[in-house]
A and B are shown apart, each in its own frame.
Chain A
Amino acid sequence: MFDIIIIGAGPAGISAGLYAKRAGANVLILYYGQSNLQRASKIDNYYGFENGIDGETLYKSGINQAENLGIEIYEEEVLNITKKDTEFAIETTENRYTSKAVIIATGNKKSRPNIDGVLEFEGKGISYCAICDGFFYRNKNVVVIGNGKFALSEANNLKNIVNKVTILTNGDHIENNFDFDVIDKKIKAICGEQKVNSIEFADGTSIDTSGVFIALGEAGGSDFAKKIGVLLNGDNIVVDDNMKTNIDGLYACGNSTGGLLQVCKAVYEGAKAGLACASYTKNI
């Protein structure tokens, strides 16, 4: 078992790892997909780089720095976080890890898609957690909106409860090696009256459905948060002054907590989360 598992290897996650490791904690960092930092062509406003630095170089330097300190870093997609008593379990596409504490540093991926009807029907047929809400759709037809392993994982959680699961990619073309029907048409709107009853596609066709489970791209901070019961403000994770969420042992830092989406803020919050989390793991 690790003391701390950090999800995300951007400035917040790496900074958290450095401080936690130096405080004596046994740390694992898991990351997957492209960081916001990698997409920044040039950063001119971060301390100490008189000629600026490109995001990709800064990102890779951070990972190298953590590896040099002896932190284990694996590129694996995290699908879910659960907690039993004081132990966390992290399920990835390849493995299952356990830890005393978890730091979410996954960036600010929005879990809510920009589709008409999403806001209107949240809690009325739209769900972000198959394992929590699948039960309410027993023997009904549902759809999962997404295009990756996260969507597949949600579909698998549903398949033994509901009548039929269809995956909707919302316009993305994917190789269908799933056990589910896949529709890759662009979605126009989620429709219903008191609750969801159908999805309308851009080409004018539609599919009847009782439930819509949203699992876009790879699972992000707010996706994990919703599944384990972290308090959110919109898509931002709510934390206290020590970067702790409402759940003991679960911390968040960087863009996942909202506010200024800058490297300096992510590094600072990462340091605070790493120190607070290391202190927590010594005392449980």
Chain B
Amino acid sequence: MGVLKITEDNFESEVLQSQKPVIIDFYAEWCGPCKMMSPVIDSIAEELGEAVKVGKVNSDENIELAEKYSIMSIPTIMIFKNGNLDKTFVGVTDKSTIIEAVK
């Protein structure tokens, strides 16, 4: 299903009300490490297919969301299960670590 663009407007419906686990990548255009993380997130979405939902939040454009989840360093990867924040990874993170965490 590809990678969704998550914003303050659709966060509730796409993430918190999701029946599937959700992987969210908080990033910004000007962040070098985020550019390295982005293709990893894309490939996780491709590999896990329908089993999970994968989205990216531009933390520059969604400041309230970033503040709500206390994002102070990017990239930050968050995994939500049943509407709750389950795990957080700060900084560039290995693909296998994220896949293992979402299972």
Spell out A's residues near B (CB within 8 Å): 82-83, 122-125, 127, 129, 131-133, 135-137, 194-195, 211, 226-232, 238, 246-247
Distance between Cα atoms of A232 and B32 in the complex (Å) = 15
Give how many B residues have a beta carbon under 8 Å from the other chain's beta carbons.
25
Q: How far apart sit A232 and B73, CA to CA, in the bound complex (Å)?
A: 16
Q: Would you give 22 A-B contacts (Cβ < 8 Å), ordered by A? A: A82-B32, A123-B72, A123-B73, A124-B70, A125-B72, A127-B73, A129-B73, A132-B33, A133-B74, A135-B28, A135-B60, A136-B59, A136-B66, A195-B70, A226-B33, A226-B91, A227-B32, A229-B32, A229-B34, A231-B92, A231-B94, A246-B36
Q: Is the CB of B36 within 8 A of A132?
A: no
B31 interfacial by beta-carbon distance below 8 Å = yes
Tell whether, in the assembled complex, residue B94 and residue A124 are in contact, meaning their CB atoms are under 8 Å apart.
Answer: no
Most buried by B among A228, A231, A238, A247: A231
A48 to B76, CA, bound (A): 49
Chain B residues, CB < 8 A from A131: 30-32
Q: List B contacts of A247 (CB < 8 A).
A: 36
What is the CB-to-nearest-CB distance from B85 to chain A, in angstroms, rounded to a whole number? Answer: 13
Q: How far is the CA of A125 from the CA of B70 in the complex (A)?
A: 9
**Contact residues, B53-86 vs A (CB, 8 A):** 59-60, 66, 70-74, 76
The answer to whether A133 touches B36 (Cβ under 8 A) is: no
A195 in complex: contacting residue of B33, B40, B72, CB < 8 Å: B72
A196 CA to B33 CA, complexed, in Å: 23
Interface: B37 (CB within 8 A): yes
- A238 nearest in chain B by CB position: B94
A135 to B72, CA, bound (A): 9
- Which residues of the partner chain A approach B66 to less than 8 Å between Cβ atoms? 136
Decide if B32 touches A123 in the complex (CB within 8 Å): no
B-chain residues with CB within 8 Å of residue A226 when the two chains form the complex: 33, 91
The answer to whether B72 and A136 touch across the interface, beta carbons within 8 angstroms, is yes
Shortest C-beta distance, B65 to chain A (Å), equals 13
Q: Are B92 and A124 in contact, with the CB atoms below 8 A?
A: no
In whole Å, how far is A130's beta carbon from the nearest beta carbon of chain B? Answer: 11
- In the bound complex, residues from chain A placing their C-beta under 8 Å from that of B30 are 131, 135
Query: Which residues of B are found within 8 Å of A135, using beta-carbon distances?
Result: 28, 30, 59-60
